[in-house]
Amino acid sequence: MKIKNFKSRYFEDYILGETITHSVPRTVTEGDVSIYLATTGSRFALNYSEEFSKKLGFKSIPLDDILSFHLVFGRTVPDLSLNAIANLGYAGVNFVKPIFIGDTVSAESKIIGLKENSNGKTGTVYVESVGKNQNGEIILTYYRWLMMRKKNFELSNTEKVIPSLPKEVPFSDFTIPQDINLDAWNSDITGSNAFYDDYNINEEIHHLDGQTIEEAEHQLATRLYQNNARVHFNQHVEKEGRFGKRIIYGGYIISLARAISCNGFANTIKIAAIHSGTHSAPTFSGDTIYAWSKVLEKKELDKEIGALKIRTLASKNNSKIIFPDEKLPDNIVLDIIYSILIPIK
Amino acid sequence: MKIKNFKSRYFEDYILGETITHSVPRTVTEGDVSIYLATTGSRFALNYSEEFSKKLGFKSIPLDDILSFHLVFGRTVPDLSLNAIANLGYAGVNFVKPIFIGDTVSAESKIIGLKENSNGKTGTVYVESVGKNQNGEIILTYYRWLMMRKKNFELSNTEKVIPSLPKEVPFSDFTIPQDINLDAWNSDITGSNAFYDDYNINEEIHHLDGQTIEEAEHQLATRLYQNNARVHFNQHVEKEGRFGKRIIYGGYIISLARAISCNGFANTIKIAAIHSGTHSAPTFSGDTIYAWSKVLEKKELDKEIGALKIRTLASKNNSKIIFPDEKLPDNIVLDIIYSILIPIK
Amino acid sequence: MKIKNFKSRYFEDYILGETITHSVPRTVTEGDVSIYLATTGSRFALNYSEEFSKKLGFKSIPLDDILSFHLVFGRTVPDLSLNAIANLGYAGVNFVKPIFIGDTVSAESKIIGLKENSNGKTGTVYVESVGKNQNGEIILTYYRWLMMRKKNFELSNTEKVIPSLPKEVPFSDFTIPQDINLDAWNSDITGSNAFYDDYNINEEIHHLDGQTIEEAEHQLATRLYQNNARVHFNQHVEKEGRFGKRIIYGGYIISLARAISCNGFANTIKIAAIHSGTHSAPTFSGDTIYAWSKVLEKKELDKEIGALKIRTLASKNNSKIIFPDEKLPDNIVLDIIYSILIPIK
């Protein structure tokens, strides 16, 4: 088939074990970083100060890890997301190597599981996606599973393969930046004097700021990642859809929650892993996003660096801090568990 | 006259044969390219991957040709567009040389025709505009004609000069990128395996995606080009105007149509020429743009490169594909005929 | 106190003579300049043409002075503005050294005055803020005074210290760009042939263009400067607030007024100083900004360069030029007095 007006793939188009090379490798520029900042308001010093990043031993400014994730994810959208009915989940995002301005990001996804649903109309596709730089080095990896449309509504009774996905990325798989000079880590620069020892398990942190999202803002951000999933951009279609309006890319909510939580984790060296994430409710233009976090676990990785496992909730239009044990209230839009590396001082 | 609050020129201010050097030459940056991407969602691999463009023999990433056009066009606006009642048309846009990041774009326009209208109140001005880089090399050239206000409403009976404008840019005037290494052209990178031989004359392609335009998006894009024509930016005036709202720069619609049509022409090497273009209806914030194309003509330029002449229509708020023989339906906002270069594989 | 969810400082937290080092030094990129352009529409040639700036003797393109101000100001917001009830004023902004792309901007503020108000609930804090580049060289300095909340509503009877602030930056304190080659200054490039001798004291200039502000635009610009003052971003809170909507950062209005007034002062070499500025009324999304200026004073600094002292008024939703002697009409949102350097030709 010659690809001219590509409608993306259906469940039947995925083959167990196949590796899809995603198109349009993307060279990261200073412009991308500025737009990321302008659409999120992040204040993590390492990602915006060349002076600071070089003193720490980086060759230049490393990208915000969530921006790196979006750039890899964006590559995969035409092949994975366009016909997806639902992003059922993702897990095991392991941030292996930072991206620097000038790097070219490419991505590939391996089909690791397929499960036809009993209604015959849909199926679940499990993938392992890998982002690489221009030298072929792995930037990040993650698992994702999606519910896809079928072309043919008869049951095909293909073999059901459900992979066992990791519940979390273990500490032993975390990558610590090589040769980092933490003597240069400086509270005056990051804006916070809270380090590894200052956090307690079960401690809750309210990140205070709320950010109201405009339609233009999430569209600009999502286009920047070349994520062209239609639900984010086409009001002519969406006005007849389930919500009557465009749905904001869930990753943009992760970005906002992470940017807001700089007031709480300003001394982050890097995100080591995102263990799991749930977009528990959709967000729309006009919603105001708040975030709060709970420290779940602590681990000293070496003498200088510790890991905090954090659960962050983001809400829309409600700033009241709450960590429900069971069902999430309706206004919670994101429930994410991730680990950061932070200096021990 | 000392230029302090410049109200632009009237019909009588143009002199046949005069060349206007447009002000504010503009150095192109990585930021410009990122904003172009964020406001259009383009996925043409050549314009966003340094790896790919270098393998093909480019010194770095060439700008999207439509962005190049906007940057040249933006230079001309203060001298040509501010008092224009209507952009009557443009023709013969010839893309001679790519722009690279770091290049400085300047523009000049020669007055090649003048025609006073019989009502005495307006006149048509014909120009040939040329965009150059910092070495004085021509980037692109085009013809344009505009209806201008007069200062004096009496007929001046100046000599009428109507230039003969080209109906199209002939194949022989196309510029093929020098020393391009098409062995490095790669379907996995562009996302499409459709090459010159896979297109048929009269074939129609629906480009599928629709993009809804927000007021902030077209304003950001249009300001980026330093196109400061007032109708795009001033709601305080436009709310009393013909449409009651700001009119979107027609060039932004070309950008969206072109970005959407990447799903159809992903293997474009470059736009060789825009033969003609009509903005057949205005677009406004909230409109959703769709695009479809018809292949009009094919020509092998050498063993490796062919040219496709394409007619692209863009609609607002209607995704039904149609190529009317005569009058365009009201929802068609752009009717453009252009040629692309595409590998023969 | 460990800084995790930083609520900024109260009046009692400031100590006379203390110098606060503001966090998150910021490396300026090409992306920042492009977003500044896309959100303002500036056409000052020097800030967008590398060719022109290098011919004049600059090592590369200097940043728009108002962008430089925002980047320094943005550093100070977490420590000074978050609990401020009102920005009472600023004065004596002296632009000492230009910022270039690649420079890293940091800022510090010295507490130079403290005055508890008689109601016991608030106090005025006076600061002198200094922006520096990565070499420790001063970029710009200014004075500012803010009304802050108190934690404790009893009068503390601390010593009242009200500093004497300069009414203006004297000519003798202006910094002229070193080794500037004004032979290369070119009317064709700047778009205006009006130089020092073409301006008269008391001359009034209407800058014509109006720009309507969208919510996304001011949010993008203000986040770019990492100014995270809550009133600009949180509709969920502001809908219950004094105006029922988000308030636009006053500095964004300065940027728009300055960009619009390029049609009047296109031959600006630099802003030497902002003597004083008043944000006389708030602006909101949907407002259209106009600007006009009056020349207050002229001074030849040397044979080639003169200074114009200018009063610029910006209005919302009213384009009628007026310079009131006393009370400003309600629609005036900005009253600023500043000096520019301009060639003597």
Neighbours of chain A (3+ CB pairs under 8 A): B, C
The pLDDT value recorded for residue B178 is 82
* Gap from B267 CA to chain A (nearest CA, Å): 10
Contact yes or no for C190 and B230 at CB 8 A:
no
Q: What is the pLDDT of residues B304-319, one digit of tens each?
A: 999 999 999 999 999 9
* Gap from B110 CA to chain C (nearest CA, Å): 15
Contact yes or no for A209 and C228 at CB 8 A:
yes
* Gap from A321 CA to chain B (nearest CA, Å): 33
Q: What is the mean pLDDT of residues A302-319?
A: 97
**Which residue in chain C has the smallest CA separation from A31?**
C31
Q: Are B294 and B202 in contact (CB under 8 A)?
A: yes
Work out the pLDDT band at B157, boundaries 50, 70, 90. confident
Q: What is the mean pLDDT of residues B92-117?
A: 97
Q: One-letter amino acid identity for B134?
A: Q
Q: What is the mean pLDDT of residues A275-279?
A: 93
Q: Are B230 and C209 in contact (CB under 8 A)?
A: yes
Out of A4, A6, A29, name the one closest to residue B33 (CB): A29
pTM of this structure: 0.97
Work out the pLDDT band at B322, boundaries 50, 70, 90. confident
* Gap from A273 CA to chain C (nearest CA, Å): 21
- Signed CA dihedral, B255, B257, B263, B266: sign only: negative
Q: Are B162 and B117 in contact (CB under 8 A)?
A: no
The pLDDT value recorded for residue B89 is 83
Other Cβ atoms within 10 Å of C167 Cβ, number: 11
Mean pLDDT across chain A: 95
Q: What is the pLDDT of residues B7-57, one digit of tens each?
A: 788 999 999 999 999 999 999 999 999 999 999 999 999 999 999 999 999
User: DSSP letters along A103-149, please?
Assistant: -EEEEEEEEEEEEE-TTSSEEEEEEEEEEE-TTS-EEEEEEEEEEEE
Contacts of A285 (CB under 8 A, 6+ apart): A213, A214, A215, A218, A245, A246, A248
Contact yes or no for C233 and A207 at CB 8 A:
no
Give, rounded to a whole angstrom, the gap between the first and last alpha carbons of chain B.
59
Residues A37, A38, A42, CA angle at the centre, nearest 5°?
35
Contact yes or no for A220 and B38 at CB 8 A:
yes
Say what the ipTM of the complex is: 0.96
Q: What is the three-class DSSP state of C339?
A: strand
Residues of A in contact with B191 (CB under 8 A): 3, 6, 23-24, 78
Out of B3, B5, B134, name the one closest to residue C206 (CB): B5
Distance between CA atoms of residues A133 and A106, nearest Å: 6
Distance between CA atoms of residues B334 and B282, nearest Å: 9
* Gap from C151 CA to chain A (nearest CA, Å): 18
The pLDDT value recorded for residue A228 is 93
Residues above pLDDT 70, as percent of chain B = 100
Work out the pLDDT band at A178, boundaries 50, 70, 90. confident
Distance between CA atoms of residues B310 and B267, nearest Å: 14
The pLDDT value recorded for residue A87 is 83
Q: What is the pLDDT of residues C104-156, one digit of tens each?
A: 999 999 999 999 988 889 999 999 999 999 999 999 999 999 999 998 888 87
Q: What is the three-class DSSP state of A201?
A: coil
- The answer to whether residue A321 scores a pLDDT higher than 90 is no
The pLDDT value recorded for residue A89 is 83
CA distance readout (Å), B152 to B11, B115, B121, B160: 9, 15, 7, 17
Q: Are C185 and C216 in contact (CB under 8 A)?
A: no
Contact yes or no for C24 and A189 at CB 8 A:
yes
Residues above pLDDT 70, as percent of chain C = 100
In 3D space, the residue among A296, A292, A291 whose CA is nearest the CA of residue A307 turns out to be A296
Tokens 């009993």 — which residue? A118
Q: What is the mean pLDDT of residues A263-280?
A: 96
Mean pLDDT across chain B: 95
Tokens 């022409």 — which residue? B265
Q: What is the three-class DSSP state of A173?
A: helix
Residue A88 vs residue C249, higher pLDDT: C249
Q: Are A98 and A68 in contact (CB under 8 A)?
A: yes
What is the β-pairing status of strands A122-132 and A26-27?
unpaired
Work out the pLDDT band at B82, boundaries 50, 70, 90. confident
Residues of A in contact with B52 (CB under 8 A): 25
In 3D space, the residue among B117, B130, B108, B138 whose CA is nearest the CA of residue B19 turns out to be B108
Residues of B in contact with C206 (CB under 8 A): 5
Q: Which of A7, A29, A82 is best to mutate for the B interface (most B CBs within 10 A)?
A: A29
Distance between CA atoms of residues A39 and B227, nearest Å: 24
* Gap from B312 CA to chain C (nearest CA, Å): 28
Q: What is the pLDDT of residues A120-170, one digit of tens each?
A: 899 999 999 999 999 999 999 999 999 999 988 888 777 899 999 999 999
Q: What is the mean pLDDT of residues C331-342?
A: 97
The pLDDT value recorded for residue B167 is 93
- The answer to whether residue B163 scores a pLDDT higher than 90 is yes
Distance between CA atoms of residues B37 and B46, nearest Å: 13
Neighbours of chain C (3+ CB pairs under 8 A): A, B
- The answer to whether residue C7 scores a pLDDT higher than 80 is no
Distance between CA atoms of residues B65 and B140, nearest Å: 9
Q: What is the pLDDT of residues A184-238, one digit of tens each?
A: 999 999 999 999 999 999 999 999 999 999 999 999 999 999 999 999 999 999 9
Q: Which of C39, C61, C219 is best to mutate for the A interface (most A CBs within 10 A)?
A: C219
**H or E element at residue C157:** none
> Two tokens at C177?
């760009």
> Two tokens at C62?
């200097």
> Two tokens at B224?
């980026």
Contacts of A1 (CB under 8 A, 6+ apart): none
CA distance readout (Å), B25 to B65, B133, B245: 18, 9, 31
Q: What is the mean pLDDT of residues A111-128?
A: 94
The pLDDT value recorded for residue A311 is 97
CA distance readout (Å), C254 to B163, C73, C251: 46, 13, 5
The pLDDT value recorded for residue B66 is 98
Distance between CA atoms of residues A246 and A251, nearest Å: 15
Q: Residue C293: beta bridge partners?
A: C205, C312
Residues A254, A259, A264, CA angle at the centre, nearest 5°?
110
Q: What is the pLDDT of residues C291-308, one digit of tens each?
A: 999 999 999 999 999 999
Task: Say what the alpha-carbon torsion angle B59, B61, B67, B69 is, to the nearest 10 degrees.
Answer: 20
b/e per residue B223-253 (b: at least 16 CB within 10 A): bbbbbbbbbbbbbbbbeeeeeebbbbbbbbb
Distance between CA atoms of residues C108 and C130, nearest Å: 5
Q: Which of B33, B39, B67, B188 is best to mutate for the A interface (most A CBs within 10 A)?
A: B188
Contact yes or no for C212 and B230 at CB 8 A:
no
In 3D space, the residue among C336, C335, C340, C277 whose CA is nearest the CA of residue C308 turns out to be C340
Residue C265 φ then ψ, to 5°: -130, 45
Neighbours of chain B (3+ CB pairs under 8 A): A, C
The pLDDT value recorded for residue A259 is 98
Distance between CA atoms of residues C236 and C245, nearest Å: 9
Out of B30, B190, B210, name the one closest to residue A30 (CB): B30
The pLDDT value recorded for residue B63 is 98
For residue C277, how far is the Cα from the chain centroid?
A: 8
The pLDDT value recorded for residue C5 is 74
Contact yes or no for B194 and A2 at CB 8 A:
yes
> Two tokens at C90?
């600023």
**H or E element at residue C291:** strand C288-300
Mean pLDDT across chain C: 95
Tokens 């880590």 — which residue? A185
* Gap from C67 CA to chain A (nearest CA, Å): 14
Contact yes or no for C38 and B35 at CB 8 A:
yes
Q: What is the pLDDT of residues A27-40, one digit of tens each?
A: 999 999 999 999 99
Contacts of C178 (CB under 8 A, 6+ apart): none
**Which residue in chain C has the smallest CA separation from B105?**
C49
Contact yes or no for C52 and B216 at CB 8 A:
no
Work out the pLDDT band at A61, boundaries 50, 70, 90. very high
Distance between CA atoms of residues C133 and C151, nearest Å: 35
Out of B5, B104, B246, name the one closest to residue C207 (CB): B5
CA distance readout (Å), B59 to A82, B43, B50, B52, B55: 34, 20, 9, 11, 9
Residues of A in contact with B45 (CB under 8 A): 23-25
Residue A305 vs residue A178, higher pLDDT: A305
Q: Residue C124: beta bridge partners?
A: C115, C147
Distance between CA atoms of residues C294 and C322, nearest Å: 10
Contact yes or no for C219 and A217 at CB 8 A:
yes
